Chain A
Amino acid sequence: MTQTTVDAPAKDRARIPARTLRTDRYWTSPLTTFIVFTAWVIYATVRSMMGSSFWVEKYHYLTPFYSPCVSKACPAGAADFGRFVPDHLPFFIPYALISLPFLLGFRLTCYYYRKSYYRAFWLTPSACAVPDKSPARKTPGAYSGETRLPLILQNAHRYFWVVAALISLVNTWDAINAFHGKDGGFGIGLGTIILWVNVIMLWGYTLSCHSCRHVMGGRLKSFSKHPVRYWLWTQISKLNARHGQFALITLGTLALADAYVALVAHGSFSDLRIFN
């Protein structure tokens, strides 16, 4: 077709040599994410494979990294959900092998974490209006987003969410158990409080999930016909606005809870007792 008067004249983008003209330190945020996530993953991997210092018998403190503890190697007190996984598995199989893969999956498919690691690890893009640095950039047509395997599996987030909610129940059970005094009755120590803070934050993270928001009410066309679900949706929406914060806070509380239990279990220091 010949060009007519009213056709748009432009075909090419402005050729600006600079990759980005941003003058702010836009790379600090992805860099921080990269360091924090990497450090956390290393810590969590090491700890969940250690197979020791995860249980404080005296106060019934179980680290979330070993909950539920289902290996035959778990101490009886720590294994409220049964010990049905054989002992003497290779070292890299964690004792909480029925929960950890799902928790990992929940966080890997989480909309907040996806944003963070796409930015910090994939660099697609590292910051807004900064060119995408994925290998795909070099081959046209290779950026397919989340349309193909494996990233299409991100769509399974809602299933991971269901399991994560169940695991949060287990963590809550652990925290209730942690009201355990040295004489066997009721007791509170700093460890109890840390486990509770962790479990509350975990609930915050789990309930503020985008899939949860969708399931509770977001999927409805009409809110006015479902007042209860609308109420749930509004509450979850409020939490959802802080989903990213919960995601980061729980990284901190999980590591803190685990480290505290580990150090007390190892005998590095003794638990600070508040009552019994």
Chain B
Amino acid sequence: MGYKAKFRVWRGDAGEGELKDYTVEVNEGEVVLDVIHRLQATEAQDLAVRWNCKAGKCGSCSAEINGRPRLMCMTRMSTFAEDETVTVTPMRTFPVIRDLVTDVSYNYEKAREVPSFDGGDVKPGEFRMQQVDVERSQEFRKCIECFLCNNTCHVIRDHEENKEHFSGPRFLMRVAELEMHPADVADRRQIAQDEFGLGYCNITKCCTEVCPEHIKITDNALIPMKERVVGRRYDPLVWLGSKIGIVKRDKETPKA
């Protein structure tokens, strides 16, 4: 069923560049990444693209296809009409290195600020956890770190200056994962608000919408985390309880 598709791909580096038009063969069952690879093998050897597993498991080939943040390997060509022009651009929130490849170091810097798992005094081999207790955090650990959620989040996408104080859905979810980890003993609620910018999130759910792993980031991580933060610092009853000693308070963990 092969046909010639019209593609527009952003080519350039250091910010400067343009959308270049290509006409390229498409065969049955192919995904956008296949077409990009065909471009590389034929007319654009130097077309820079980041990819690895081509099976939606590594989260490398994040880009924006017709303006929507997607994994190129998980976007089937059959979702487009044959006469439709498919536009592929790099993720907009991160600086571009070349063509479709962006500098995602922001994400790795934010990852380093989240205090790591703290298992307390339990020795390896002695952890006992129930399945129902690990499932919440397991959902978040499905994350393949494609950073599409951070890319699409308007807090940094549209407000570059917020990058300093906002870790993005990916790492707020990481905080939630650790907070719900049944064996973790640290308390990251204060820093979730003060250092990682949970309060900037206005729960417009775009992170959930673009997540290729279908993790319910907003409903299961961000909102429960907001509720936990309320319990820690905005709830007058809890505050009163802690003053008169009914509510026990954990030691707060500082930013790493």
A residues sitting closer than 8 Å to B (CB atoms) are 8-16, 18, 20-24, 111, 114-115, 118-119, 124-125, 128-129, 131-132, 136-137, 140-141, 143-147, 151-152, 155-158, 210-211, 213-214, 218-219, 221-224, 230, 240-241
Contacts and interface: CB of A to CB of B under 8 A. Distances in A.
Interface of B: 10, 12-17, 19, 64, 66-69, 84, 87, 89-90, 92-97, 102-103, 105, 130, 132-133, 152, 154-155, 157-162, 179-180, 182, 197, 199-206, 209-210, 218-219, 223-224, 226-231, 234-235
Contact of B14 (A11, A20, A145, A213): A11
B12 A14 contact: yes
Given A15-B17, A128-B69, A115 B205 contact: yes
A204 to B, nearest CB: 16
Contacts of B209: 128
Contacts of B96: 10, 12-14
Contacts, number: 175
Contacts of B89: 14, 16, 21
A128 B210 contact: yes
B200 A144 contact: yes
B171 to A, nearest CB: 16
Contacts of B17: 14-15
Given A13-B94, A214-B224, A241 B219 contact: yes
A214 B180 CA distance: 12
Nearest to B19: A16
B159 A143 contact: yes
17 contacts: A10-B94, A11-B15, A12-B15, A14-B92, A20-B67, A23-B84, A111-B223, A132-B159, A145-B199, A152-B199, A152-B234, A155-B226, A210-B219, A213-B224, A214-B224, A218-B227, A221-B179
Given A13-B15, A210-B223, A158 B154 contact: no
B201 A221 contact: no
A140 B159 contact: yes
A129 B155 contact: no
Contacts of A114: 202-203
Contacts of A224: 130, 132-133
A126 B129 CA distance: 42
B199 A13 contact: no
Given A23-B66, A24-B68, 17 more contacts: A8-B95, A10-B97, A10-B103, A14-B10, A15-B15, A16-B89, A24-B66, A115-B204, A128-B206, A129-B69, A129-B157, A132-B159, A140-B160, A140-B161, A143-B162, A221-B182, A222-B182
A8 B105 contact: yes
A211 B227 contact: yes
Nearest to B234: A155
Contacts of A141: 159, 161
Contact of A12 (B14, B199, B200, B224): B14
A124 B202 contact: yes
| Shortest Cβ-Cβ A-B pairs, 3 listed | A12-B15, A21-B67, A22-B67
B169 to A, nearest CB: 12
A114 B203 CA distance: 7
A214 B159 contact: no
Contacts of A144: 199-200
A241 B103 CA distance: 35
Nearest to A11: B95
A22 B89 CA distance: 11
A14 B15 contact: yes
A124 B94 CA distance: 19
A129 to B, nearest CB: 5
A124 B206 CA distance: 11
A147 B68 CA distance: 28
Nearest to A12: B15
B225 to A, nearest CB: 10
Contact of B202 (A8, A118, A211): A118
Nearest to B132: A223
B154 to A, nearest CB: 4
Contacts of B103: 8-10
A25 to B, nearest CB: 12
A224 to B, nearest CB: 4
Contacts of A15: 15-17
A155 B204 contact: no
Nearest to B205: A115
A230 B205 CA distance: 26
